[in-house]
Structure 1
Amino acid sequence: MSTHSTELDRLTQRWERFRQGRNAALAAPHGWLTLTSFQWLPPVPSPLQHLPGLWSFEGTTAFLTASAEDHLTLMESGEAVVGTISVQLSDEESVLWVKSGSVVVELGMRANRYMIRTRDPQSPTLTEFTAVPVFDYDPALVVTGKFEPYSAPRTAAIKTAHPEVPGMVVLVGDVVFDLAGNAYRLAAEQGPLGSLIVTFADATDTTGSHWRKLELTKPRPDNSVVVDFNRTINYPSAFTDYGTCPAPSEGNTLPVSVEGGECNLR
């Protein structure tokens, strides 16, 4: 076996381990594949679809009023909700608040409005899930680029997967790279542990979403960075109608098809 074949096998196996971890994370019992509804909280205590209790908000506080017969329990402690409870969140925060049977109720703040999403482990999207379809591993989609940091972070308005939820993104620099003989640049956010997050669209029509996400490892001291499009993943909005995922910032659309990473689940 040639050295090239051995190295390709090693990289492919490493990528397959990445895919196994990704599929396992998606299959979590109250993960993204379990979303079954999205509802805004009303200003007056009112019932919500498919949920017991009365739900509302006032100012920056969300309220839930329930009786013992509603069989709602706090997610954190398992204690029954009897009477009125409240939570305050900041914009973009979420909390798994209460349970109704096996269904978990997520409370979140989006565009400074309180929303409720239900997460049902019996959702067909989860129960019928085995793995996200992906393109075959392609070593040509692994390139070395350059990170060009901005002098200061830039905040930009963006759209999201939900038409009623505008978004904002903080961009820290551009990732410049060559792909198939052409030069491109994509704006990046700061990720965890010094990584970079790139949200981009391209000409691929089999990804189940108009855009995808790629996390790059922390740039090296010379600001070089590995751009591996085989690790491109779909945002949750590719799997569910109830996501509020960020769209790419202006300029983050590639004019070519990048057939790497995840394809369409639905």
Structure 2
Amino acid sequence: MSTAATETRKTAFNTDWQQWHEAHEKLRSDPHGFLAVTELHWLTADATALAGAPGTWRVEDDAVHLTLESGISLLRDGAELNTPEGLNANGELVFGPIAERDGINLSYGDTVLELAKRGGEYVLRPRNPSNALLREYHGTPAYTPTLSFALAAQYVPFRRPRETTVGAAVEGIQHVYQAPGTVKFRIDGRELELTAFNGSAPGTFLVLFTDETSGDTTYVANRSLTFSAPEAGGAATLDFNRAVNLPCAYTDLATCPLPPAENHLPVAIAAGEKTPFEREAAK
């Protein structure tokens, strides 16, 4: 490849990465994104008033029961919920069952109430645009993108998907993922592999990993990389320039999964997002 062609390829690669990075930062800065989370409440069988949310909340028969005072407005998809028609015989709103890693959003004034299930337990997280973490957010540092970390890989499927249990950023819970296989690749002549999980979007896989930069220039607990799911035994591209931080890199009010033990790479992946300024300032 000629020098001019090489430079053209580099320019196109860098432009594409910059557009992706800006879009990712815009999504992260959403007024009701994870930077807006003000509380992390674990719900129990006892009816409890919770900071940042109206009423009292309890769990019964794998569903969340909410008792609101009359006149309190709570919306779901723009529709008012606190009406006589929306209440059960006990005057409660009932939500669920909710699937693991799934959730619903309820609007309460300027606040969005995220009701979800994590590690088999129900959680409620109010998200308010006035949260200081969001208001003071000025972007995430990242390595300058380089083609050398956009790596060719080979997907090796398991005979059948493996249920894989991993830890979490908060104590006491675990996450269970379906692992369809591994991806094998080479860095500096070394053959490495990562266990892949099904991604949140159809047709994608993700890998959770740490490497020799973790705890130094990148967040200590985890980073995530999403890529297009190849056919069985097919080729894939792992562009580590697009490795991103999970919410737990920014806030302790997150329940992020940790990588499986085998997903520590014994090399420095000097690509992708670095430790957030917020974590560095807290050291």
Matches within 5 A, 1:36-185: 36-68=38-70, 71-79=72-80, 81=82, 83-88=91-96, 89-99=98-108, 101-185=109-193
RMSD: 1.8
**CA distance in structure 2 between the partners assigned to 1:209 and 1:24 by the alignment:** 24
**CA distance in structure 2 between the partners assigned to 1:118 and 1:76 by the alignment:** 16
**CA distance in structure 1 between the partners assigned to 2:141 and 2:116 by the alignment:** 30
Sequence identity (%)? 27
Specify the code of the residue in structure 1 equivalent to 2:15: Q
CA shift at 1:222, angstroms? 6.1
**CA distance in structure 2 between the partners assigned to 1:220 and 1:164 by the alignment:** 36
Asked whether the 8 Å contact 1:68–1:80 carries over to 2, the reply is: no
Asked whether the 8 Å contact 1:160–1:244 carries over to 2, the reply is: yes
**CA distance in structure 2 between the partners assigned to 1:51 and 1:217 by the alignment:** 38
Q: Which residue of 1 aligns with 2:245?
A: 234
Specify the code of the residue in structure 1 equivalent to 2:206: I
In terms of mean alpha carbon deviation, does 236-245 or 203-212 score higher? Answer: 203-212
In terms of mean alpha carbon deviation, does 80-89 or 164-173 score higher? Answer: 80-89
**CA distance in structure 1 between the partners assigned to 2:232 and 2:158 by the alignment:** 16
Instruction: Please tell me whether residue 190 in structure 1 is matched to residue 198 in structure 2.
Output: yes
Q: Which residue of 2 aligns with 1:11?
A: 13
In terms of mean alpha carbon deviation, does 170-179 or 197-206 score higher? Answer: 197-206
**CA distance in structure 2 between the partners assigned to 1:60 and 1:161 by the alignment:** 24
Structure 1 runs of 4+ off > 4 angstroms?
none
Asked whether the 8 Å contact 2:52–2:126 carries over to 1, the reply is: no
CA shift at 1:80, angstroms? 6.0
Instruction: Identify the match of residue 224 of structure 1 among 235, 241, 244.
Output: 235
Uncovered stretches (5+) of structure 2, i.e. residues with no partner = 84-90, 279-283
In terms of mean alpha carbon deviation, does 201-210 or 239-248 score higher? Answer: 201-210
**CA distance in structure 2 between the partners assigned to 1:53 and 1:32 by the alignment:** 23
SS in 1 for 2:207: strand
**CA distance in structure 2 between the partners assigned to 1:31 and 1:20 by the alignment:** 16
- CA 72–41 in structure 1, closer or farther in 2 if over 3 Å, else same: farther
When you count strand as a share of all residues, which structure comes out higher? 1
Specify the code of the residue in structure 2 equivalent to 1:10: A
Asked whether the 8 Å contact 2:38–2:52 carries over to 1, the reply is: no
In terms of mean alpha carbon deviation, does 23-32 or 47-56 score higher? Answer: 47-56
CA shift at 1:138, angstroms? 1.5
- CA 195–111 in structure 1, closer or farther in 2 if over 3 Å, else same: closer
SS in 1 for 2:38: strand
**CA distance in structure 1 between the partners assigned to 2:6 and 2:52 by the alignment:** 57
**CA distance in structure 1 between the partners assigned to 2:150 and 2:101 by the alignment:** 33
CA shift at 1:68, angstroms? 3.2
**CA distance in structure 2 between the partners assigned to 1:218 and 1:165 by the alignment:** 28
SS in 2 for 1:68: coil
Instruction: Identify the match of residue 259 of structure 1 among 267, 270, 278.
Output: 270
Asked whether the 8 Å contact 2:36–2:129 carries over to 1, the reply is: yes
Specify the code of the residue in structure 2 equivalent to 1:126: L
CA shift at 1:137, angstroms? 0.7
Asked whether the 8 Å contact 2:43–2:123 carries over to 1, the reply is: yes
Asked whether the 8 Å contact 2:242–2:272 carries over to 1, the reply is: yes
